[in-house]
């Protein structure tokens, strides 16, 4: 609709030119009333027609604006879907750390004005300028000289074509600097959302602003250099365009002076010549080219991800919904993150039995959270394999397996949504199960929290929203644990608690984990915590060190071995007795 209105506007503009020429040509005869003059009635109708066309042409911008807003909303939605869907679709997450994928993603977003919606917004005006260009050229050729019309059209198209070439070179420069853009965006987000408190505490305001300006400038500097070169050539080709228009106007003036061109043709041809010059929509062509660049990147994004990080395909049919019935076994598993040669896990052997509570302990950086990511299929082992009931995890339907795993990790999501959503996201297919919601509220200890909220379960957990509230760190962790428990009640077979309640004091965390172990005794549980008082009641405890399992046994057995576990346990116990946390212990 927007395109049609723009084209209609161009046609009405040409109609104004033609009618204006006829009115101007008829004025002397209408005034003198000489022989062959236009009758006054016909002249009045001609003026009325010009007025009607002018009014219609004047009303079109408002209609076009309404149509554009409607189109723009749909385009923005399509762009969001076109970018986020391929990024979210893969069951693994390696592609989110791939520089090639991130570069294509930045280009698809249209950074620096190369945005698809901006390009599409110019399409109607480019179409209108084409209609005006062709129509005005026909008027000039028919009423004056065809060589003048062809010259003006050729110069106008040359200017637009060359402007597009210059922009393509600029796009190439911009696309080559996505890393600098990402760094600048990171610093911007750091100051606005991610770390506002820390920045103020450490007095990093000036440092952040200076660093942001430096990174942003580094990303734009090559673009500015290219634009300076482009400006020189743009001035040159623009000068050629002005000379061509000047020649055309002088030719019309000469013909008018020697009497070979009547007043009506003069009054019509001159506006048509100016209209051809105004039909030089270099800006619109540039924006369309920029939008097409972003569009091509958006189309390339799914293919880039699929080629570099193909999603696993189940090679056999297995009843994933009943797994694990016996065990999950890591066999000689090694892993290093994409782009790094430093191994996080080395020849790791570990067995998690079904209906067993296994605790995993180790120093920071030992690889505990990485092991959880491998268990959930977010990454593939670099070497070795993971077996579920004797079946390689690579052969399973990964989407179905991930629905079997309920994981609460250290950096769990805090959705700015109602409590209901924050809990039922553990199993969205059971979102309407109010009995299970009430059950997990009691089991996780959030029932009192929910009752104290202004709108109960419907309260938005974000104070930036009207009627929303913020929770404490401990309350948020109970919400997250309720989400995992909701998933377990919905059928999840593996529960992972990665530092499940670090915001609670030692006693509260130990009680909470012990309660969860009672409630989830029918599933395989993996508990990770740096507090040994939390894991001591697990069925089995494994010590992870240097990427391997170095100790395996119950709390008492590991103390008797007098190894790493016993050393770390005694050091922490002494700290709780003599340190500031003694009160909590």
pLDDT tens digits, one per residue of 411-430: 788 889 999 999 999 888 88
| pLDDT number for residue 584 | 41
Q: Counting Cβ atoms within 10 Å, is residue 218 exposed (0-12), middle (13-18) or buried (19+)?
A: middle
Average the pLDDT over 121-126 and give the result.
73
Q: Tell me the mean pLDDT in the region 98-116.
A: 75
Would the pLDDT of 541 be above 90? Answer: yes
**DSSP class of 331:** E
552 has pLDDT over 80:
yes
Structure tokens at 187: 């610093």
Residue 184 has pLDDT above 70, yes or no: yes
Of residues 474 and 468, more confidently modeled? 468
Closest CA to 351 of 319, 386, 379: 386
Candidate from 36-40, 265-269, 294-298 with smallest mean pLDDT: 36-40
Spatial distance between the Cα atoms of 213 and 296, rounded to a whole number of angstroms: 30
The angle that helices 282-308 and 99-109 make with each other, rounded to 10 degrees, is 150
Q: What is the pLDDT of residue 488?
A: 87
3-class secondary structure, 486: helix
pLDDT of residue 187: 76
pLDDT band for 583, please (50, 70, 90 cuts).
very low
- Where b means 16+ CB within 10 Å and e means fewer, 176-210 reads ebbebbbbbbebeebbeeeeeeeeeeeeeeeeeee
Closest CA to 385 of 423, 347, 419, 415: 347
Sorting pLDDT into bands at 50, 70 and 90, what band is 506? Answer: low
Between residues 164 and 345, which one has the greater pLDDT? 345
Structural domains for the chain: 64-308 (1.20.1560.10), 320-582 (3.40.50.300)
**Tokens describing residue 532:** 């040994």
What is the Cα–Cα distance from 221 to 174, expressed in whole angstroms? 10
Interatomic CA distance for residues 535 and 360, integer angstroms? 8
* pLDDT over 60 at 113, yes or no: no
Mean per-residue pLDDT for 544-558? 91
- In this predicted structure, the answer to whether residue 252 has a pLDDT above a threshold of 80 is yes
What digits encode the pLDDT tens for the residues 429-452?
888 889 999 999 988 889 999 999
Q: What's the angle, vertex CA 97, arms to CA 92 and CA 103, rounded to 5? A: 120
**pLDDT score for 582:** 43
- Residue 32 confidence (pLDDT) above 80: no
Distance in angstroms (rounded) separating the CA atoms of residues 516 and 84: 35
At 585, the pLDDT band (50, 70, 90 cuts) reads: very low
């Amino acid at each position: 609709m927007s395109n049609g209105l723009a084209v209609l506007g161009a046609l009405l503009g040409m109609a104004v030119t033609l009618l204006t020429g006829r009115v101007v040509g008829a004025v002397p005869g209408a005034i003198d009333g000489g022989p062959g003059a236009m009758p006054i009635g016909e002249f009045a109708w001609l003026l009325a027609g010009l007025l009607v066309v002018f009014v219609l042409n004047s009303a079109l911008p408002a209609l076009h604006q309404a149509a554009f807003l409607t189109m723009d909303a749909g385009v923005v939605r399509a762009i969001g879907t076109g970018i986020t869907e391929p990024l979210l679709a893969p069951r693994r997450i390696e592609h989110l750390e791939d520089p090639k994928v991130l570069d294509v993603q930045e280009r698809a977003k249209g950074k620096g004005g190369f945005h698809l919606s901006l390009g599409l917004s110019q399409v109607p005006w480019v179409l209108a300028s084409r209609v005006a260009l062709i129509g005005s050229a026909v008027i000039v050729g028919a009423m004056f000289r065809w060589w003048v019309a062809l010259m003006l059209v050729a110069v106008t198209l040359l200017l637009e074509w060359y402007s597009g070439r210059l922009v393509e070179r600029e796009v190439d420069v911009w696309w080559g600097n996505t890393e600098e853009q990402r760094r600048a965006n990171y610093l911007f987000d750091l100051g606005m959302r991610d770390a506002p408190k820390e920045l103020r505490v450490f007095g990093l305001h000036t440092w952040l602003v200076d660093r942001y300006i430096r990174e942003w400038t580094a990303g734009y500097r090559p673009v500015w250099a290219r634009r300076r070169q482009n400006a020189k050539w743009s001035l040159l080709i623009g000068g050629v365009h002005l000379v061509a228009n000047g020649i055309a106007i002088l030719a019309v003036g000469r013909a008018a002076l020697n009497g070979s061109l009547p007043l009506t043709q003069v009054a019509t041809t001159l506006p048509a010549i100016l209209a051809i010059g105004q039909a030089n929509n270099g800006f619109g062509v540039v924006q369309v080219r920029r939008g097409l660049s972003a569009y091509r990147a958006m189309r390339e994004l799914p293919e880039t991800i699929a080629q570099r990080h193909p999603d696993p395909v189940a090679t056999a049919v297995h009843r994933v919904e009943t797994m694990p019935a016996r065990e999950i076994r890591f066999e000689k598993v090694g892993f290093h993150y994409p782009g790094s040669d430093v191994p996080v896990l080395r020849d790791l052997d570990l067995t998690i039995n079904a209906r067993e509570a296994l605790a995993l302990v180790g120093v920071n950086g030992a690889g505990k959270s990485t092991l959880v990511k491998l268990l959930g299929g977010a990454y593939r082992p670099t070497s070795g394999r993971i077996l579920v009931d004797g079946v390689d995890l690579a052969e399973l339907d990964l989407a179905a397996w991930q629905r079997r795993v309920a994981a609460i990790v250290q950096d769990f999501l805090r959705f700015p949504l109602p409590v209901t959503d924050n809990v039922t996201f553990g199993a969205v297919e059971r979102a309407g199960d109010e009995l299970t919601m009430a059950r997990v509220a009691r089991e996780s200890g959030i029932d009192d929290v929910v009752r104290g909220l202004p709108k109960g379960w419907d309260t938005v957990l974000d104070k930036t929203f009207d009627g929303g509230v913020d929770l404490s760190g401990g309350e948020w962790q109970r919400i997250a644990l309720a989400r995992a428990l909701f998933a377990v009640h919905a059928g999840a077979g593996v529960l992972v608690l990665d530092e499940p309640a670090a915001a609670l004091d030692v006693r509260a965390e130990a009680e909470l984990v012990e309660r969860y172990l009672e409630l989830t005794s029918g599933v395989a549980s993996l508990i990770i915590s740096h507090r040994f008082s939390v894991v001591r009641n697990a069925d089995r405890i494994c010590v992870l060190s240097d990427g391997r399992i170095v100790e395996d046994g119950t709390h008492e057995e590991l103390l008797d071995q007098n190894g790493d576990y016993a050393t770390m346990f005694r050091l922490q116990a002494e700290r709780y007795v003599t340190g500031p946390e003694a009160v909590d212990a």
